[in-house]
């Protein structure tokens, strides 16, 4: 029997776990042709998340868990999950039920047709602010423009991955991870299905705009060096303008003499150049920061404790 792993990163999700577990249980009961594994990654929750998961695992051998040593963030929680799933296919799903587990059979169906990566695209996002939707749209646009790998727009991490995609992602050990981009980068055959994204059932989103901004910067800097190219281009453009400007000044002074004037234009030029220089330095700094972090070569996470439900089946 083929085995489907459901990977659930969870950070302070005590309020959603019960209904998630119910719905996953129902899913498994309705699809008895497959073995199921529910792998919870407890990402350093400070509430009862871990206790609840442990409780489930006592009576249900489909439930496995990995307890990380602290909160590492969803991106790291996901790689910790990939390192421990044992299924022939893996479905990543949020613990807050924003991604309906009822979509999983459809994903499995396409997987059986031969697709390696069946991803769910959101056609509506309930309970999210206008600002969040718009900023995410812009982000995707910018990312898409600046890199040649196709990025799937309005697609979260909710997807089914064949074993070989999981093995591919496991080999990418970057520490500042942008997993959504990696799904595209590894390639393999992809299939899109659509769904309506629900509001979360309980609790608050763990994302704030600072975190989202950081993810956006990670996303762009880990997938493209286009910003560096843009700053070189800006430098080139400004140099040309400056050269023309110098010629004009020289000609003007030789013809009309040199009355001391031009304070406003001087300030404008200095401020403009200063701005561009700082921006370029910042961009270079972003990349150097990434180099710094990657060269340290630290492990991505530490595990406090883990429990695998059924004895892991041999992978293909």
Find out whether 77 and 157 touch, Cβ atoms under 8 Å. no
Kindly state the smallest distance separating residue 234's Cβ from Mg ion, in Å: 38
The item of Mg ion, ligand UDP, none sharing an interface with residue 52, based on CB under 5 to 8 Å by kind, is none
94 near ligand UDP, rule: CB under 6 A: yes
Taking the least distance from each CB to Mg ion, the nearer of 202 and 281 is: 202
Integer Cα distance of 126 and 46 in angstroms: 27
Token output for 189: 């055959």
Integer Cα distance of 148 and 128 in angstroms: 29
Q: Are strands 3-10 and 35-42 parallel, antiparallel or unpaired?
A: parallel
98 near ligand UDP, rule: CB under 6 A: yes
Q: Which of 4, 5, 9, 177 binds ligand UDP (CB under 6 A)?
A: 9
Which residues in the 248-307 window bind ligand UDP by CB under 6 A? none
Find out whether 108 and 4 touch, Cβ atoms under 8 Å. yes
CB atoms within 10 A of CB 73: 18
Taking the least distance from each CB to ligand UDP, the nearer of 98 and 222 is: 98
Integer Cα distance of 56 and 63 in angstroms: 7
The item of Mg ion, ligand UDP, none sharing an interface with residue 190, based on CB under 5 to 8 Å by kind, is none
- Number of residues located near Mg ion, criterion CB under 5 A: 4
Q: Which of 6, 11, 63, 81 binds ligand UDP (CB under 6 A)?
A: 11
96 near ligand UDP, rule: CB under 6 A: yes
10 near ligand UDP, rule: CB under 6 A: yes
Binding mask 182-211 for Mg ion (x = CB under 5 A): ------------------x-----------
96 near Mg ion, rule: CB under 5 A: yes
CB atoms within 10 A of CB 177: 22
Nearest to 173 by CA among 301, 31, 38: 301
Token output for 239: 């140099």
75 near Mg ion, rule: CB under 5 A: no
215 near ligand UDP, rule: CB under 6 A: no
CB atoms within 10 A of CB 229: 12
Interface residue list for Mg ion (CB under 5 A): 94, 96, 98, 200
């Amino acid at each position: 029997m083929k085995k489907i792993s459901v990977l659930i990163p969870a950070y302070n999700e005590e309020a959603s776990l019960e209904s998630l577990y119910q719905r996953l249980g129902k899913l498994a009961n309705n699809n008895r042709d497959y073995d199921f594994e529910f792998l919870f990654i407890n990402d350093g929750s400070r509430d009862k998340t871990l206790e609840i998961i442990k409780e489930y695992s006592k009576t249900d051998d489909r439930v496995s868990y990995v307890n990380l040593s602290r909160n590492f963030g969803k991106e790291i929680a996901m790689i910790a999950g990939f390192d421990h799933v044992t299924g022939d296919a893996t479905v990543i799903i949020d613990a807050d039920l924003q991604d309906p587990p009822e979509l999983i059979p459809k994903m499995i169906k396409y997987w059986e047709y031969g697709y390696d990566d069946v991803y769910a695209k959101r056609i509506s996002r309930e309970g999210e602010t206008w600002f969040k939707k718009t900023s995410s749209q812009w982000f995707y646009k910018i990312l898409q423009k600046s890199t040649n790998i196709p990025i799937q727009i309005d697609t979260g991490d909710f997807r089914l991955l064949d074993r070989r995609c999981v093995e591919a992602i496991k080999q990418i050990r970057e520490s500042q991870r942008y997993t959504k981009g990696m799904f595209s980068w590894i390639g393999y055959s992809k299939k899109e299905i659509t769904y309506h994204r629900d509001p979360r059932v309980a609790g608050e989103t763990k994302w704030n705009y600072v975190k989202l901004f950081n993810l956006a910067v990670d996303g762009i800097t880990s997938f493209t060096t286009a910003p560096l190219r843009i700053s070189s281009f800006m430098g080139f453009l400004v140099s040309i303008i400056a050269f023309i400007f110098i010629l004009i000044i020289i000609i003007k002074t030789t013809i009309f003499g040199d009355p001391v004037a031009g304070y406003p234009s001087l300030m404008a030029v200095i401020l403009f150049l200063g701005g561009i220089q700082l921006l370029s330095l910042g961009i270079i700094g972003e990349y150097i920061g990434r180099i710094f972090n990657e060269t340290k070569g630290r492990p991505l996470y530490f595990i406090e404790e883990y429990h695998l439900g059924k004895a892991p089946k041999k992978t293909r």
